Amino acid sequence: MKIGIDAMGGDFAPKAIVEGIILAANEIPADTTIVLIGNVQDIQQIIDNQNYKGTNIEIVEANETIEMGEHPVRALQSKPNSSIGVGFKLLKTGEIDVFASAGNTGAMMVGSLFSIKTIEGVQRPPIAGFAPQIDGKLAVILDIGANADVKPEMLAQFGVLGSIYAEATMGIDTPRVALMNIGEEEEKGSLVAQQAYKLMKENTSINFIGNIEGKDFFKGKADVIVTDGFTGNILLKMGESLYGIMKDRGIRDEFLDKTNYEAVGGSPIIGVNGNVIIAHGSSSATAAKNMVHLCRKVVESKVTEKIKEALS
């Protein structure tokens, strides 16, 4: 297995990313190679400083970097040799099995759509996040930001994609799929949510359990939480803020620890022809290490192949 990592992406790159990758390299099996993409000299120097002597890190040169604030489409077009541009080339040709970056989220999204492209039958690929539950598990929440405006059909399909993802990568049998809404009853909510409810109820390929409300977000009621990319992004970011808030107040707790984004490692784009993970912009070495483990899990699960099969 070859895991491609953008060494230059993220607020603390390349140092935090490379240091995290070295931590991961010491934990992964011998048949797994991490392919670091970026400025070879910079990367090599961090590896040397860390005194890493292992053999499962490779470096591929990318002499440009897309900055966080750049316009995704323009940046990818004008910087084909950027670490994100090179990463998608390697992913498309099969030289890596998964590509992950803590860099420009928009560029990762655009790269996915234009380079490896959407799986046939997928309307608009969502980004999936992970919401910690009080029962100790994680729920998949999607979309968390790729599609701020959605149609009912898209929400219904997010349910299908999330269900396949939860089953393949998390080993959950017939995952409980819920629609995030402002009331339990079928007729509650926005016009889009009302229509989505009907479509999801009729869809026999998912185990739709109905609406859940904001108060249920952490309560372990669902394995897959379906929502638009606007609501999902705001909810997840609010949830992630709890770890820091309570830590500053001197409160540590196992549940709160799981709201720390570092523990999760990243957010997969679901429904594209390849495995793509978007990591948090402020990824630390710990986050980068966990990004590698998430990459491994996604590749091993063959979730992308399973989505293709399900939609064919």
**Applying CB under 8 A, which residues contact its own copies?**
134, 145, 148-149, 180-182, 189-191, 193, 213-219, 229-231, 233-242, 245-246, 248-249, 251, 253, 255
Q: Which is nearer to its own copies, 40 or 138 (CB)?
A: 138
Beta-bridged to residue 224, according to DSSP, are: 140, 177
Q: How far is the CB of 194 from its own copies (least distance, A)?
A: 9
Q: What is the CB-side half-sphere exposure of residue 277 using CA atoms within 13 A?
A: 30
* DSSP percent split of the chain into helix, strand, coil, nearest 5: 45, 20, 40
Q: Which is nearer to its own copies, 242 or 299 (CB)?
A: 242
Distances from the Cα of 22 to the Cαs of 46, 55, 294, 298, in angstroms?
10, 11, 15, 20
* Rounded-to-integer distance, Cα 18 and Cα 34, Å: 10
Q: How far is the CB of 54 from its own copies (least distance, A)?
A: 36
* Rounded-to-integer distance, Cα 90 and Cα 215, Å: 43
Q: Which is nearer to its own copies, 11 or 309 (CB)?
A: 11
Q: How far is the CB of 79 from its own copies (least distance, A)?
A: 20
* Rounded-to-integer distance, Cα 166 and Cα 158, Å: 12
Q: Which is nearer to its own copies, 115 or 181 (CB)?
A: 181
Q: How far is the CB of 214 from its own copies (least distance, A)?
A: 3
Q: How far is the CB of 20 from its own copies (least distance, A)?
A: 22
Q: How far is the CB of 306 from its own copies (least distance, A)?
A: 29
Q: Which is nearer to its own copies, 23 or 246 (CB)?
A: 246
Structure token pair of residue 304:
């992308």
Contact indicator for 177, 162 with CB cutoff of 8 Å: yes
Q: Which is nearer to its own copies, 129 or 175 (CB)?
A: 129
* Rounded-to-integer distance, Cα 9 and Cα 14, Å: 7
Q: Which is nearer to its own copies, 26 or 190 (CB)?
A: 190
Q: How far is the CB of 255 from its own copies (least distance, A)?
A: 6
